[in-house]
Amino acid sequence: MALAALVPGALLGWVVYEAVGGGAGGGSDRTAAVATPAGTASPSASVGDDGKQPSAAPASASLKGKVVVIDPGHNQDNFQHTTEINRKVDIGTNKKECDTTGTSTNAGYTEARFTLDVAHRLRTLLQKQGATVKLTRDGDHPAWGPCVDQRARIGNEAHADAAISIHADGSAAGNRGFHVILPGSVHAGAADTRKIVGPSHDLGTRLAGTFLRDTGEPPSNYLGGGTGLVTRTDLGGLNLSTVPKVFIECGNMRDSKDAALLTSGAWRQKAAQGISEGIVSFLRRS
């Protein structure tokens, strides 16, 4: 993906400091951004590749009335529908392909499989907190896509309180780490992100902190200046959103160290936990 803008590197210190608990007791909004939400399962809980956790006391339904839309990137069958996914759609600033095939590890584990697995785990965690959760695709329908404009529309029509698009990158070996993509300010054509830039930044910053803490995955060493945060204005899924939304690239599938994590069911559960806690923190903000 082409880089539109980098978030100032000064944020790295806060993200790392708060994620490891350095801000405990400070009482600020920044400390709250990475505080473990009450009733959330411990990231160290034993899990299997099916994403199931041992039975535990029910979490409080503190997110009742909140709607979260999860967008698992790409689709396993996109490669069989090249004509459909290569069709250009309007993203406000210009036109881009409906969707892409996504990437994969060198061993053939696809990004589409990864994103759907994490999405299912994340849905379970958020539903335990009482949230209503909708997915843009759920593994059986449609056979390809949806297109990026449709993915944004699903979140908009659900009046989501938060939306997250889950991905994994396909950069060069040696490039590793996660990054959260924030929407830049866009006002062109059908796109107008001006009202969601602020809350999306809040969501993304919280998410970066909890993801780092729960997974141990470092911020990207090749994008974002070490902050784990990147701002872009060329993604239809963000440009066309009217609700707070971010993307997360959970790691680089082409790097052997990251690939070992991304293909682990236990690590994918930690990834879902980290994403969940960031969303919960955002939705519980005062």
Q: Which two tokens stand for residue 128?
A: 């335990």
DSSP calls for the chain: ----EE--TTHHHHHHHHHTTTTTT--SHHHHHTSPPTTPPPTTS---TT------PPPP-TTTT-EEEEEE-S-TTGGG-HHHHTSEEE-SSSEEES-----B-TT--BHHHHHHHHHHHHHHHHHHTT-EEEES--SSSSSS---HHHHHHHHHHTT-SEEEEEEEE---TT---BEEEEEPP-EETTEE-TTTHHHHHHHHHHHHHHHHHHH-PPBPSSSGGGSSEEEES--HHHHT-SS-EEEEEEEETTSHHHHHHHT-HHHHHHHHHHHHHHHHHHHT--
| Structural contact between residues 192 and 184, judged by C-beta atoms closer than 8 angstroms | no
Which of the following is catalytic: 18, 111, 249, 277? 249
CA 11 to CA 208: how far, in whole Å?
A: 11
**DSSP bridge partners of 180:** 229, 248
Is residue 18 part of the annotated active site? The answer reads no
Q: Which two tokens stand for residue 8?
A: 């100032």
Residues that are catalytic? 249
